[in-house]
Structure 1
Amino acid sequence: MLAQLSSHQHLFPDPRTALPEPNGLLAVGGDLSPQRLLKAYHQGIFPWFSPEDPILWWSPDPRGVIMPHQLHVSRSLRKFLRRCNYQCSINKAFPEVIQACADQRAELEGTWITGEMEHAYTQLHEMGHAHSIEVWQGDRLIGGLYGVLVGQTFCGESMFHRADNASKIALLALREHLLAGGLRLIDCQLPSLHLNSLGAIEMPRERFLHTLALGVDRPMDPNLLVPQAIDCAFIGNSV
């Protein structure tokens, strides 16, 4: 039975009780307050809904994830990295990144990144929980991604690109930059062919929840999260 969330208490049912069909649907209702969102992510739950729907909460089984050391870099991307003139940064343009993700999804398939979602994740960013990776060509923002950091797990929400390979380079920059802080897992939420091509695997929910819990009380070094440039040269040298 689908749980109906209270508008007053930030409580979720056990994610293991999520429906098998549609896969992972756990609860409906509540709000997108920072307190509720943080509670959800710490339990392996995330919101995902269309503009015409109520707020829906999910914990699918299996879970799409990328193990940082298994991020796949194709031969063509290796060559591209050696000659591209892109620059990367972290947390320098969070509002622009989430807006670009919303715009790109709206153009392709309709977006679930509504104004309400943008506001909610911008609040999380201002509180130090949501983060963005930016890819630049000169002063032009050409790619990026954003998500929520839960201890040593980065829960990716969306990515975009306006130039060749820019979103892939954002993912590489995320991996390389946060590995120094003990990055354990990149949560992709739902499996997809595109993510699988980058090395994503399908992880059973029970194993995902266990891995999430192992790193939840080990916060990332805050020095890695202040707005700063990420040296793209070391990305090319390390893949």
Structure 2
Amino acid sequence: MKDAMNRRRPWVSPESAGPDGLVGVGGDLRPSTLVRGYAEGVFPWFNEGDPILWWSPDPRAVIELDGIHISHSLARTIRSGRFRVTANCAFGDVIRGCADCRTDGTWVTRQMIEAYEELHRLGHAHSVETWVRTESKGTEQKSDSLEGWTLAGGIYGVSVGGLFAGESMFFRVSDGSKVALAALVERLKTCGFELFDVQMRTEHTTRMGATDIPRKDYLRRLREAVKKTNVRFA
């Protein structure tokens, strides 16, 4: 029984982890394992061909939902309507875009792509996409159609209760990921999420308002956030 429990939960309690944040090695990426990990403040991060590594860094980076930084130039871009924003319309394309670009240092392996696509099918993983209109010879497209639009960027992550854990983002058109991140924050606020975890700060997320908080504070807020059962990423 103990060995079986170790297979289901291949990490130690984050409270007992060192400052580097490594809490476990091995295990699997089954949906139940991933959901439990995020609910306990743990996420996988490893290179192709390596064992699965589980992390709970200290400090932990978050974006406060009322504290996102939107520059004047980005606000103008958003108002211009240049980008079309959708949610959960191209999850597979977004996660593969992140794997191809790796703009934030994240290594999105083939194993992780398969695992998170399954999470998406089960309603736990979500994406926000931005699109730009391609040159069109024909007539105006229907408002609900993406025909004539090209994927410009996106972000994906995992939801558990009132937690949204952002995993990675990418862009193919300048500002494509920034607009996606801004749209995601607005959606999280509207849907009643409490905690937006971005794991570790990058230059990009720092400019958008990411801050570090002690792991113990993150875990305390996480325990409250995941108790919310009426939150839906809609």
TM range (shorter): 0.7 to 0.9
Q: In the TM superposition, what is the alpha-carbon distance from 1:10 to its structure 2 partner?
A: 3.0
Q: Which amino acid aligns with 1:176?
A: E
CA deviation vs aligned residue, 1:127-163 (integer Å, no higher than 9, x gap): 1000000111132111101000121121000001111
Query: Counterparts of 1:15 and 1:94 in 2: how far apart (Å)?
Result: 29
Query: Counterparts of 1:81 and 1:53 in 2: how far apart (Å)?
Result: 40
CA deviation vs aligned residue, 1:196-226 (integer Å, no higher than 9, x gap): 111110011011111111120213544x43x
Q: Which amino acid aligns with 1:135?
A: T
Match in the other structure for 1:17: 16
Q: In the TM superposition, what is the alpha-carbon distance from 1:111 to its structure 2 partner?
A: 5.6
Q: Which one of 84, 97, 119 corresponds to residue 114 of structure 2?
A: 119
Q: In 2 relative to 1, CA 193–215 (structure 1 residues): closer, same or farther, beyond 3 Å?
A: same
CA contact (8 A) 1:191 1:200 kept: yes
Q: Name stretches of at least 5 consecutive residues in structure 2 with no aligned partner.
A: 134-148
Query: Counterparts of 1:155 and 1:97 in 2: how far apart (Å)?
Result: 15
Query: Counterparts of 1:193 and 1:134 in 2: how far apart (Å)?
Result: 21
Where 1:69 maps in the other structure, the secondary structure is: coil
CA contact (8 A) 1:41 1:150 kept: yes
Q: Which one of 193, 205, 208 corresponds to residue 195 of structure 1?
A: 205
In the TM superposition, 1:1-239 aligns within 5 A as: 8-10=7-9, 12-20=11-19, 23-105=20-102, 112-138=107-133, 139-219=149-229, 221-222=231-232, 224-225=233-234
Q: Taking every aligned residue pair, what percent have the same amino acid on both sides? A: 44
Query: Counterparts of 1:146 and 1:5 in 2: how far apart (Å)?
Result: 31
Q: In the TM superposition, what is the alpha-carbon distance from 1:178 to its structure 2 partner?
A: 2.2
Where 2:18 maps in the other structure, the secondary structure is: coil
TM-score (norm 2): 0.86
CA contact (8 A) 1:67 1:200 kept: yes
CA contact (8 A) 2:193 2:231 kept: no
Where 1:40 maps in the other structure, the secondary structure is: helix
CA deviation vs aligned residue, 1:60-102 (integer Å, no higher than 9, x gap): 0100110011000111112222224211111111111101110
* Aligned residue-pair number: 217
Where 2:206 maps in the other structure, the secondary structure is: helix
Q: Which amino acid aligns with 2:186?
A: E
TM-score (norm 1): 0.85
Q: In the TM superposition, what is the alpha-carbon distance from 1:104 to its structure 2 partner?
A: 0.7
CA RMSD, aligned part only? 2.0
